[in-house]
Structure 1
Amino acid sequence: MKPFFRFFACVSFALCSFACSHHTIIPDDELALIFHDAFLANAYLGGRNPTADSLNVYEPIFARYGYTTQDVQYTIGNFSKRKSARLGNVVERAITMLDAEGKDYSREVAILDTIDNVALRTARRTVRADSLIRVRSLADTSQLRFAFDVVPGAYDVQLTYLVDSLDRNTADAPRSRMWLESADGTQSQNYNIILRRRSEGYISHRFKADSGHRRLRIEFYSFTGRPQTPSVTVRNFKVEHTPEKAEAVDLLYERQLDLRIFADEFFRAAQKDSL
């Protein structure tokens, strides 16, 4: 509330010198609007402390409502003569307007966030999915090596696995390796994990690709020593791509133009979901 007090200090600076008979008394409703706009001006000015010489900051606000600085000064000074009116009530009205606007802006942001989430879900696509992969020989391990061309966005890799007791790679535990690769072969965002044995494990990892990346490479079963006969089962392997938010929103608008998904009913439902 300090900005309001600073504002009142500025407009009250010349109260002792103005002539009461030559100025207009501003109605309370309009005065509240002026205080509202002045508060926003103070917020825009930041931590700077207005002085009497800086009243020109407020003059355009007063002029927009058809009043002068002297009219505002006169109206504020006149409150002491009005038994049924309090300046604090006008200030409170301005604060109420600011609070209501803040809630409206928060609601609009929530709606936009909801649209973003819908857009991202709608644009997400599965790059590769396998419900079951069994590897029982060295030759079978080729089934667990993948390379995907990538475009900007997020790539989510998920799977469950079991390295059972028949797996002979006991001396050097096998690893799962994944990374993004640039056009010149440079690796980035390397993900490297030792595979657990004889109990089901779960892997979930997200890669963030940009325009400099060309491929996502996955070597799920990678040997660290001399390869021995493997015995591993992979279930529910999935790679999903989600484009960047701006592209996803554009795609959603393009796809839904004919369905009028952004009609009033959609926004009302979005508001309810975000509350």
Structure 2
Amino acid sequence: MKLIRLSILALLFLASCGDSLIPRGKMSRIIADLYVTDRYVFSYHDLMKSADTSKLYEPIINKYGYTTQDFVNTIGYYVERPAKLKTIYANAKLILQAEFAAAEAEVARKRSLDSLLVEIEIRFSQSAEAKIEDSHSRAIRWIYFPGKTQKWSSAVPDSLAVRYDAPVSAWWWSNNMKTIQKPFNQYEKNRSTIHPARELQTDPERLPLH
């Protein structure tokens, strides 16, 4: 009988809450966002002194479609259910750990790109002439760092508004291919027949075998 009364009271409480009770999944997400906001505020002394928590927290809660009162009601509900409240905070911790790992990976990626840029510049940019003549290094710099590549001015008209020192037009490829294949093209122009020697000739520098 006592169990039935408790069940009825719980149902009445939930009915009185209506839609204001925030689901546990969203509560974990909200708590994680609140924690990140707190850490950001406390990392800046001036911001911490002037921070109004009501103004900081309310927009975060509103983002999920709830009010501050909904959040307070939900916390009050789960305070009486510590096992479920512990689950909410444990899930919030997992969310924060995943975000921290993603942030660390992004920082590591940017550091790796910066290191790669330095290595490329050291390897292929020993002189101003190398930057202009070495099409291979220009192509590598453009592929990895198109925004950081040195701009390239040319009197030849180009349809691109910004001309980077990189393979961005047919004109670039045409001229660089001519430079790279110049020896080959010269060889191809001389297509005369190569006649074999009529008699075998000994090498004067070769020692006789006797």
TM-score when normalising by structure 2: 0.47
Larger Rg: 2
Higher relative contact order (CA 8 A, sep 6+): 1
